[in-house]
Amino acid sequence: MDAFFVSVEELADPTLKGKPVVVGGKAHERGVVSAASYAVRKFGVHSAMPLREAYRRCPQAIFIEGSPAKYREYSRKARKILKGFSPSVEMASIDEAYLDMTGCERLLGPPLKAAHDLHEAVRAETGLPCSLGIGCSRLTAKIGSGLAKPNGILRVMPGAEAAFLAPLDIARIPGVGKTMQQKLRRLGIRKIGQIAQQDAGFLADRFGKAGLALAGKARGEDAGAWFSAPFTDRETPKSFSHETTFGEDTMDGALIDATLAKLVQLTARRLREHRLFGRTVQLKIRYSDFTTVTRARTLDSPTRLDSVILRAIRELFRKNRQRGRPVRLLGVHIGSLEESEGQLPLIDKEQRQKWSRALEAADALRDRFGESAVGLAAALRHGRRERVHENPAVSAGKENLEKTETAPNRS
């Protein structure tokens, strides 16, 4: 999707069209940009940039807090449309998907025609612009779609991958972050074609496994952690996480506890939405000096209950927090997801059933009246806003995942 969050906001408020828009929060707030309109990108504003920095670069920009529930809804809509074009749809993030079109020619016609039809279907049914890349690997398709933006389609002909990639800047390669770019530039490598000319051994010596993957990527192959994994249309996420940065660093125990409760509530809701149970609970604490601690615990059986997760999170916090240091950020992460709760409880069976029913009812209320309709009393003091992050423009793997909802995390 093109500037997905911004496009969704424009649907609700057409006056935003063509203007510099930043989604993520108010200009003076802490936190980062989750999405930037094309108009504001001209000022050098991009996602993952601190909001204050975005304001410095473009003070006239319109800052919007964003509405994650709405983005998710549009993401689901788009996915449904994609499913009409191919049975194999891999959602790589909230606004990015791969379709395996193998064998669809007889039904949908040649690749470009199918792409045009898909492009039109998304526009007609959601009103949102998107861009498509067509290629023999997910990597070329991804880079292609990036170049096709906004609102375009680009096909990389079979056999032409290396030639297509050669003149492009190395920053276009998904998974090549700042550090690797710097290292490559120091070696005099600026274009993807220059990587393709290097001996694989040379790259492996300098970058290890990542170097080998890089050699493959430069030839347009699906190489490296994320791309080398088999295509999967699995909808089951690997983990869920929510985190929040305080407006001001805090040592206020009550505020911290309320925030933990709120984060747990959001995460457990995701679990139930996906009909999953989580077994590993992880807490992340970042102090004001940016030192970050993450500590995890494995529960003795998987759960989707706020109460059970909160108990574990509170215990992790109590054991691991360093007293006297102001907290900047807190995060809750649930992993080791399972489709069944496994071992049934013997002791607090009724209590768990009650919790389970109460949370189901709460979820139903939230579906109807919004996320803030009902919540844990413990979480009340913290009026945390939920934030979702769009894809940073060019990158894949770890950074390419929805921040609040870690979709197929295979990196």
Partner 1 sequence: MELTLKTSDLVEELSVGQGAVEKKTTIPVLSNVLIEARAGEVVLTATDLEISIQSSCPAAVKENGSTTLPSRRLLDYVRLLPDMELAFRVLENQSASLTCGRSRTRIAGMSAENYPELPEMPAVLTHIPAKVLTNAISKTSFAVADEESRYTLTGALLIIREDSLVMVATDGHRMAYFEKPHKFDGISGEVKGLIPKKALAELSMLAEKLAAQGDESLTIMVDFASDENHLFFRCGKRLLVMRKLTGQFPDYERVLPREAGMSIEIGREEFMAAVRRVAQFADERSRAVRLELEEGQLKLIASGSDAGESEESLPTVYSGDRVQVGFNSVYMLDFLGAVSEARNVEIQFKDEESAGQFRIPGEDSYDYRYVVMPMRV
The binder of partner 1 chosen from 73, 348, 360, 367 (CB under 8 A):
348
**Which CB atom, from 35 or from 271, has the smaller least distance to partner 1?**
271
DSSP structure class, residue 244: E
- Give how many residues touch partner 1 by CB under 8 A: 17
Q: Give the range of 9-17, 129-137, 207-215, 346-354 binding partner 1 by CB under 8 A.
A: 346-354
**CB 308 to partner 1: min, Å:** 10
In a 13 Å sphere around the CA of 131, the CA atoms on its Cβ side amount to 20
Strands 35-36, 21-23: pairing is: antiparallel
CA-closest candidate to residue 4, choices 133, 130, 166? 130
Q: Give the range of 188-196, 212-220, 335-343, 399-407 binding partner 1 by CB under 8 A.
A: 335-343
Q: How far apart are CA 16 and CA 6, in angstroms?
A: 9
**Which CB atom, from 19 or from 311, has the smaller least distance to partner 1?**
311
Q: Give the range of 32-40, 124-132, 160-168, 342-350 binding partner 1 by CB under 8 A.
A: 342-350
The binder of partner 1 chosen from 102, 110, 347, 383 (CB under 8 A):
347
Could you count the other beta carbons within 10 Å of the beta carbon of residue 127? 12
**CB 311 to partner 1: min, Å:** 6
Cβ distance 84 to 78 under 8 Å? no
The binder of partner 1 chosen from 228, 250, 301, 409 (CB under 8 A):
301
Strands 62-64, 21-23: pairing is: parallel
Tokens describing residue 274: 């996906």
- Measured in whole angstroms, how far is the alpha carbon of residue 38 from the centre of its chain? 20
Determine if 179 is a binding residue for partner 1 (CB under 8 A). no
Q: How far apart are CA 298 and CA 285, in angstroms?
A: 18
Determine if 341 is a binding residue for partner 1 (CB under 8 A). yes
Q: How far apart are CA 391 and CA 93, in angstroms?
A: 7
Determine if 159 is a binding residue for partner 1 (CB under 8 A). no
The binder of partner 1 chosen from 14, 60, 167, 300 (CB under 8 A):
300
**CB 381 to partner 1: min, Å:** 24
Determine if 345 is a binding residue for partner 1 (CB under 8 A). yes
Determine if 311 is a binding residue for partner 1 (CB under 8 A). yes
Determine if 283 is a binding residue for partner 1 (CB under 8 A). no
Q: How far apart are CA 359 and CA 350, in angstroms?
A: 14
Determine if 280 is a binding residue for partner 1 (CB under 8 A). no
* Residues between 16 and 75 with contacts to partner 1, criterion CB under 8 A: none
Determine if 340 is a binding residue for partner 1 (CB under 8 A). yes
In the chain the first and final C-alpha atoms are separated, in Å, by 22
**Which CB atom, from 185 or from 349, has the smaller least distance to partner 1?**
349
Angle, CA 173 vertex, CA 22 and CA 240 arms, to 5°: 60
**CB 301 to partner 1: min, Å:** 7
The binder of partner 1 chosen from 49, 173, 312, 334 (CB under 8 A):
312
For the question of residue 96 being annotated catalytic, the response is yes
**CB 343 to partner 1: min, Å:** 5
Q: How far apart are CA 35 and CA 396, in angstroms?
A: 16
Given 9, 10, 90, 96, the catalytic residue: 96
Strands 62-64, 35-36: pairing is: unpaired
Determine if 233 is a binding residue for partner 1 (CB under 8 A). no
Q: In what order do the strands lie in the sheet with 240-250?
A: 240-250, 327-338, 277-287, 292-303
**CB 309 to partner 1: min, Å:** 12
DSSP code per residue over 16-73: GTTS-EEESS-TTSSSB-SEE-HHHHTTT--TTSBHHHHHHH-TTPEEE---HHHHHH
Determine if 279 is a binding residue for partner 1 (CB under 8 A). yes
**Which CB atom, from 36 or from 268, has the smaller least distance to partner 1?**
268
The binder of partner 1 chosen from 343, 368, 377, 383 (CB under 8 A):
343
**Which CB atom, from 217 or from 279, has the smaller least distance to partner 1?**
279
Tell me, what amino acid is at 272?
A: R
In a 13 Å sphere around the CA of 352, the CA atoms on its Cβ side amount to 15
**CB 293 to partner 1: min, Å:** 19
Annotated catalytic residues are 96
- Contact positions toward partner 1, by CB under 8 A? 279, 300-301, 311-312, 315, 336, 340-349
